[in-house]
A and B are shown apart, each in its own frame.
Chain A
């Protein structure tokens, strides 16, 4: 069966510090991978998605970046965090092109920038 991992679970970082959040998926190959952010009391905002190694599409302009160095690894980064980067970050995966449309989410990382 497929599982998705995210770490860390919780992170408190000062403004201006770098960020690296990691997401890995097990039990599937060639997944589509997604990074979402959820602000308090809000819906999910899609930040990045990837259909393959090294292929990243950005949905919104921001100071975050994403990379996919391996098939089942997706990393969200920032060189300098802003207060507005605080939120709940969720990684999700979906099977390849012919799979059903549902996405499955990891446990999330709660980021607080002070």
Chain B
């Protein structure tokens, strides 16, 4: 079993719809959770970062963490064609020492105009 599971998609939704992207994980030590966005032929870039359970909002994006269920989500409101990209979740147990980031495989999202 992989430490982080993410549905690879592809996921296609019409412009303006709410998008929900999810990851589950098995390692209860994970404390830091991130969402990266990757446009075609580019390296991933950090979109959202959360620590602890709960919601974090940034513009049209909301990151949600449920540690009891080992489940994280990214919601995109009023989706735009420019949101079309691959979204990768990532997580880490600690901010110190030798802890490495563990990534999901990514979900390819297409917003249809």
Bound pair (A, B): no
> Which residue numbers of B lie inside 8 Å of A, CB to CB?
none
> Which residue numbers of A lie inside 8 Å of B, CB to CB?
none
